[in-house]
Amino acid sequence: MTFATTGCEKRDWHQPEKVHWDRDMCERCKMALSERKYAAEVIDPKTHKHYKFDDIGCVILWFRENRIPWEKEAIIWVKDGKTGKWIDAKKAWYTTDKLSPMGYGFTAYADKADAGSKEVVDYEEVKRRVIRIGR
């Protein structure tokens, strides 16, 4: 006999939580998450707490402004600009020519070929540029 265990299954804390569009607020700027191609989520690997953001720029500045000690270990998810699926922000490729919710201008892609932009940068370059802008 097989029992349905769907309701009792433990959720994998490594995965992003469901976003309640236009209701969930960005952890840093407190704007509602509404742009589906730009959302980001950070997970603290020790507490498993999830933090939601409306723009990758807010993620980077939140780490810096709050002196988050676990930044290097953090799990960071971003929405893929083509598919809308969650992808690893640290492995993603970013275009620099789109208008993102907070104006940082970065759109993430899992596949570099999908970016189709004149300039495509990695996560470390996104960090450098956002910190330089620093708003």
Q: Distance between CA 29 and CA 62 in Å, rounded?
A: 9
Give 31-83 pLDDT, tens digit per residue: 999 999 999 999 999 999 999 999 999 999 999 999 999 999 999 999 999 99
Give the residue, 7 or 75, on which the prediction is more confident. Answer: 75
Q: What is the reported pLDDT for 92?
A: 97
Give the residue, 115 or 61, on which the prediction is more confident. Answer: 61
Give the residue, 83 or 98, on which the prediction is more confident. Answer: 83
Q: Where are the domains of the chain?
A: 19-133
Report whether 41 contacts 89 (CB < 8 A).
no
Q: Which helix (H) or strand (E) holds 100?
A: none
**Interval 95-106 mean pLDDT:** 84
**Interval 9-30 mean pLDDT:** 90
**Interval 13-28 mean pLDDT:** 94
CA atoms within 13 A on the CB side of 51: 21
Weakest-pLDDT range from 1-15, 39-53, 101-115:
1-15
pLDDT at 7 over 60: no
Strands (E), the chain: 40-43, 50-53, 75-79, 86-88, 93-95, 107-109, 120-122
**Interval 79-99 mean pLDDT:** 94
What pTM was estimated for this model as a whole? Answer: 0.87
- Residue that has been written with the tokens 């300039």 in this structure: 119
